[in-house]
Amino acid sequence: MKRTFLMKKISVVLMIVGTLWTVQAQKPTHYVGLSAKLGYSAMLDNMNKIGLDTTFYSGKNSVLGGVATGLDATYELQVQKFRFYTGLSFDYLNAATRIGDFTVNRELINPGYPMSYQYDYTKMNETRNALYLSLPVMFGAYFNRYYFFVGPKVGINLYGNYTMKSKVLGQYIDDELIGDGQGGLGVMPNHGADEYKWKEGAQKFNFNTLNLAVAGEFGVNLDEWLAVKPKRGQRRGRNYRKTFKESLHYRAGVYFEYGVLNINNYAKNLADADARIANGANTSGNDVPAYVTGGNKPTDMAMSTQLGTKAASNAALNPLTVGAKFTVLYEIPKKKPKPRPKPQPKPKPQPKPQPTPVVVPPPVMNGVLVDGKTQRRLSDVQIQFLDSEGNVLFEGLTTEEGTFATKLTPGTYGAYINKPGYLPNTDQVVFVKDSVYLILNPLEEKKKIVIENLFFATAKTTILPESEQALEDLYFLMVDNPKLRIKIIGHTDNVGSDAANQKLSEGRAKSVRDNIIERGIERSRIEYEGMGEREPVATNDTDEGRAKNRRVEFEILSNE
What's residue 48's pLDDT? 84
pLDDT value of position 186 = 43
d(CA 471, CA 456) in angstroms, rounded, equals: 12
What pLDDT, on a 0 to 100 scale, did the predictor assign at position 338? 58
User: In terms of residues, how long is the chain?
Assistant: 560
Q: Which residues pair with 167 in a beta bridge?
A: 122, 197
pLDDT at 334 (0 to 100): 75
8-state DSSP, 52: -
372 and 262 in a common domain: no
Whether 460 is covered by a domain: the verdict is: yes
Please state the rounded mean pLDDT for residues 452-475. Answer: 91
Q: Does the pLDDT value for residue 191 go beyond 60?
A: no
Indicate the residue among 424, 442, 460 that finishes a domain.
442
Percent of the chain whose pLDDT exceeds 90: 57
Instruction: Determine the pLDDT at residue 315.
Output: 87
Beta-ladder partners of 369: 438
**Paired residues of 107 in beta bridges:** 116
Predicted confidence at residue 454, as pLDDT, reads: 94
pLDDT recorded at residue 228? 83
Q: Of 442, 464, 482, which residue constitutes the final position of a domain?
A: 442
pLDDT at 179 over 60: no
Domain harbouring 375, CATH code: 2.60.40.1120
pLDDT in tens, 264-307: 999 998 888 777 665 544 445 578 888 887 777 888 888 889 99
Q: Which residues of 62-85 are buried (b: 16+ CB within 10 A; e: fewer)?
A: eeebbebbbebebebebbbeebbb
* Residue 96: predicted pLDDT: 96
Q: Pick the range with the lowest mean pLDDT from 237-241, 385-389, 464-468, 512-516.
A: 237-241
Q: In terms of domains, do 109 and 242 share one?
A: yes
Burial code of 18-36, b = ≥16 C-beta within 10 A, e = fewer? eeeebeebbeebebebebe
Q: Are residues 215 and 199 in the same domain?
A: yes
Predicted confidence (pLDDT) at residue 550 exceeds the cutoff of 60:
yes
- Whether residues 555 and 418 share a domain: the answer is no
Q: Are 56 and 284 in contact (CB under 8 A)?
A: yes
The rounded mean pLDDT for the chain is: 85
Q: How many CB atoms lie within 10 A of CB 508?
A: 26
In this predicted structure, the answer to whether residue 241 has a pLDDT above a threshold of 70 is yes
Amino acid at 23: V
The residue ranking higher by pLDDT, 173 or 200, is 200
pLDDT of 38-93, one tens digit each? Answer: 999 999 998 887 767 777 888 899 999 999 999 999 999 998 789 999 999 999 99
**Structure pTM?**
0.72
pLDDT for 166 equals 95
Residues 161 and 297 in one domain: yes
End-to-end CA distance of the chain: 64
Answer yes or no: are the C-beta atoms of 203 and 163 closer than 8 Å. Answer: yes
Q: How confident is the model at residue 358 (pLDDT cuts 50, 70, 90)?
A: low
442, 464, 497: which is the final residue of a domain? Answer: 442
> Could you tell me which residues are beta bridge partners of residue 200?
164
The answer on pLDDT for 311 being more than 60 is yes
Same domain assignment for residues 145 and 161: yes
The reply to whether 282 and 315 lie within a common domain is yes
Residues 410 and 476 in one domain: no
**For residue 519, what are the domain limits?**
445-560
Better-predicted residue by pLDDT, 424 or 180: 424
CATH no. for residue 543? Answer: 3.30.1330.60
Number of domains the chain contains = 3
Flag whether pLDDT at 187 surpasses 80.
Answer: no
Q: Does residue 38 lie within any of the structural domains? A: yes
> What is the pLDDT at residue 8?
54
Domain assignment present for residue 353? The answer is: no
Identify whether the C-beta of residue 293 lies closer than 8 Å to the C-beta of residue 198: no
What's the pLDDT at 336?
62
Same structural domain for residues 202 and 59? yes
Q: Give the pLDDT of residue 23.
A: 45
User: What are the backbone angles phi and psi of residue 544, rounded to the nearest 5°?
Assistant: -65, -40
Q: What is the reported pLDDT for 223?
A: 87
> Is-contact 510 461, C-beta < 8 A?
yes
Q: Does a structural domain hold residue 423?
A: yes
pLDDT category of residue 22 using cuts at 50, 70 and 90? very low
Position 381 pLDDT exceeds 90:
yes
Greater confidence (17 vs 519) lies with: 519
pLDDT above 60 (res 188):
no
- Asked if residue 15 belongs to a domain, the reply is no
Is there a domain that residue 43 lies in? yes
Query: Higher pLDDT residue, 1 or 115?
Result: 115
Task: Say whether pLDDT at 404 is over 70.
Answer: yes
* 373-377-383 Cα angle (round to 5): 100
Q: Which residue has the higher pLDDT, 127 or 282?
A: 127
Based on the domain organization, do 76 and 169 belong to the same domain?
Answer: yes
Residues 82 and 172 in one domain: yes
Euclidean distance between CA atoms 124 and 120, whole angstroms: 10
Q: For the residues 161-170, what does the mean pLDDT come to? A: 94
519-523: average pLDDT: 88
With respect to residue 506, please indicate whether it lies within any of the assigned structural domains. Answer: yes
Q: How confident is the model at residue 37 (pLDDT cuts 50, 70, 90)?
A: very high
Which pLDDT belongs to residue 67?
Answer: 97
Q: Do residue 284 and residue 303 come from a single domain?
A: yes
- Is 20 inside a domain boundary? no
Q: How far apart are CA 131 and CA 90, in angstroms?
A: 7
